[in-house]
Chain A
Amino acid sequence: MTNDSAQNPSDEIELLSFRLGEEEYSLDIMSVREIRGWTRATPLPHAPDHVRGVINLRGTVLPVVDLSVRLGMPPVAGDARNVIIVVQTGAQTAGLLVDAVSDIFALPCSELQIPPELSADVARRYVSALTIVEGRMIKVLDLATVLPENSAEAA
């Protein structure tokens, strides 16, 4: 719940939505630094499955998380249609590999709903809010929980 999203109900929040398989997720756009096309990541030895590896972001070494694996789904294929969303929380920068970016939309924070507690679902942990846009349900991701664990703790 460390995301800035549900702070002040009167404020508007801008969300970047993206597709992971059949699901649609979104992120507070304030934490998005840039969106990059797919590049092959250099795999890291002894890394957890969801850490796809590291890529070169203009000279810095950027860890890339396969968001799909992180949320308990099959890995992102890794082809030219996929994108890496470069996000930042605190001092931590990381890339999130997703299937495709779909939309940017603004809505009042009051329209964000706390998701119900369903402990059987692994993805529940990573979702800080739910909202409905044009009849579709969109999940707002809690960024801090999806970044590589050690760095999320350090940040």
Chain B
Amino acid sequence: MSDPMAEIKASFFVECEELLESLQDALNLMDEGAHDDETINIVFRAVHSIKGGAGAFGLDALVAFAHRFETVMDEVRSGRLAVTPEAQRQFFHTADLLADEVHAARDGLPEPEAAEECLTELETLLGVPPGGGAEEEEVDDFVPMGLSFDLDLPDVDAAETNGPIEIRFSPHASLYAAGNDPYHLLGALTELGALDVSVDLSAIPTLDALDAEAALLHWTLRLEGETDEAEIREIFEFVEDLCTLEIAHPDVMDPPDLGELPAVESDPLLAPTPPPPPEPARTEAPPPEPAGSETKEKSTPAAPAAPAAAPAAEPVATVRVDLERIDRLVNLVGELVINQAMLSQSVSEAGLPPNSPVMTGLEAFMMLTRDIQDSVMMIRAQPVKPLFQRMARIVREASSAIGKDVKLRCEGEATEVDKTVIERLADPLTHMIRNAVDHGLEMPDARTAAGKPAAGVITLSAQHRSGRVVIEVSDDGGGINREKVLARAVERGLVPAEATLSDSEIDNLLFLPGFSTADQVSALSGRGVGMDVVRSAIQSLGGRISISSEIGVGTCFSVSLPLTLAVLDGMVVKVADETLVVPLSSIQETATLAADDIRPLGPETHVIQLRGAFVPLYDLGSELGYRSPQPSYEGGIVLLTAQETGERSALLVDSIIEQRQVVIKGLQRSYAQIPGVAAATILGDGQIALILDPADLVQTATGRTRPPQISLAG
């Protein structure tokens, strides 16, 4: 019994997330000035559905919170309360706390502390009597509307706990003939509640007259417990036609015993309400508290209309699947891609003519493989919208904490990204948003003085761009104060005092560990975990972060991420007869070295001169231990990689083979983390190639590019 219940509860919480999402959407619409009935109804409905479901699971704290929120929203809906900007802000705050309440209920945590305060504020603001006034007298004002009743259904059970149910069960001979045993049926009934069994033996004749195959026993059962007729009928479902079954509720007309119900404490105002007629009450009644009774009275006549109103939010049919299964599928498709590459390689080695049936068939196979791969990757993809909504909350909380008026504008919420990427993006993005609120935007008076509107705007956007997703956080603040940044960096010893840095180099100082420009360490940011943490989090996702800023206009952080963590676009290169893959995202350009490009730096190192800039040269072959440094690098090919710091390095390879998508295979699970190596992949010939992590490689690299005095072996 407990297991299915837990499942239903879990799906309730999943549904809550969806409801909270639509709640946020509607509030955003309201914030943008949409005060039409439908928008407000969506808010109301979302809160109401959460309350209804919570009631069914006896989540009293959540019910109480949602109820008071609902009551306020009801006032708004009926047009008695104007939505002022203050009220709007309070709605957002309350919605945030509602989300907290839901999460607290889900994880069994204590109720958020701010809840009561927030509700009181909300109610005071709107002049609603605290505690959720009852509106019985205004029942007539309600417009019939669609309500989601699916969550209310379990209440039906609650409404029928009122007394024992009497069941008369008379099996026919066919029931026994079909191999059923009343014992098991009765056993199943005892799981629903306390069962009182009495059997009628009067039909049994004396032994000489007994027909062994006749059905002579009749049972009268009294069942007490939280159940209803449907549940009982379900038990008898398979023997329905093989017996006579009567289910009666001897006590059903008794006034409901409110004390037993898993709802909020009964309101005295409820008392005058006449006991509802049993039939509609059983199908419609949410937990009997004041708002519930409105719903009941309102929706009973409108019951047929309810499904008609629902299609507005009709969801696309979906299936919930374990992530593990999808990952397995993703892996299998990865195998398929590798196998297909191996097959095409051996076919081309077989030297078949290009238009032979095998070749054309193989081409079709390749296209299919590609399509399958894309579709499978799409399964893991999710819209960034929930992530952006979390950020909206961060903006609200962060801005109110430091007294700035901030609006968040979201663009491209429907952009889909791999689930893992989204999950691991939450922390860095939170950081960036907080930074934008705290450091990016000026205080309102400074903004007014600069001729800007007092309310700052932070824009959060997502879009697909050439096979990657680009997420941008931009603000319309004062831009980066480069003098201040440089002064701070010098003060902290991060750059030498006499250094002359370009604008973008100064901007990139923000990514150095332990950097903070806020004059005061605020509660919000500036705690030492800064943009360097953001940068490393983004990099660990295979992403890049860049910064652009204009004084007086604003700052923009741009994060570019791979769409998936399962495949990667790489450049396949040869180094000392080994095949390696370098992520395309880390390569800026490639170049062939001419003799005067290469300049010796130290006794064992070189730099290359590239359009007036010097870039350190690393010989991949010797850094990875494949060979000793070469006597000459003239004519060598280098890959120019840039880190997010702007620090560049030239990686020397023997040749570039191709550019292709490779399936990422983790190395850590089978071996261990290798410095400079991100992962491995399987090439078309079945061989494993290592995928490099240039940033990591350069960190541990020696930079030795000239034959050393002592042997390298060892």
Contact = CB atoms under 8 A, between A and B. Distances in A.
A59 B338 contact: yes
B672 A55 contact: no
A143 to B, nearest CB: 16
Contacts of B624: 45-46
A59 B667 CA distance: 12
Quick one: which of A39, A40, A44 has the most chain B CB within 10 A? A44
A43 B625 CA distance: 9
B672 A151 contact: yes
Interface string B482-507: 00000000000000000000000000
Tier of interface size on chain B: 20 to 34
B670 interface: yes
B671 A151 contact: yes
Interface string A120-155: 000000000000000000000000000010110000
Given A61-B670, A63-B671, A151-B670, A42 B335 contact: no
B670 A45 contact: no
B672 A60 contact: no
Contacts of B676: 45-46
A42 B680 CA distance: 10
B672 A42 contact: no
B352 interface: no
A148 B671 CA distance: 7
Contacts, number: 72
Contact of A61 (B334, B623, B625, B665): B665
A45 B696 CA distance: 13
Given A55-B688, A56-B686, A56-B688, A46 B675 contact: yes
A148 B672 contact: yes
A59 B687 contact: no
B578 interface: yes
A46 B675 CA distance: 8
B690 interface: yes
Given A59-B682, A61-B666, A151-B672, 11 more contacts: A42-B688, A43-B626, A44-B671, A46-B624, A53-B688, A59-B331, A59-B334, A61-B670, A61-B680, A63-B670, A63-B671
Query: Top 8 closest A-B pairs, CB basis?
Result: A45-B624, A150-B672, A42-B688, A59-B335, A63-B671, A56-B682, A61-B680, A61-B670
26 contacts: A42-B578, A42-B579, A42-B690, A45-B675, A45-B676, A45-B690, A46-B674, A47-B674, A51-B671, A54-B670, A54-B671, A54-B680, A55-B688, A56-B682, A58-B335, A59-B331, A59-B335, A59-B338, A59-B665, A60-B665, A60-B670, A61-B667, A61-B680, A63-B671, A148-B672, A151-B672
Interface of B: 331, 334-335, 338, 578-579, 623-626, 665-667, 670-672, 674-677, 680, 682, 686-690
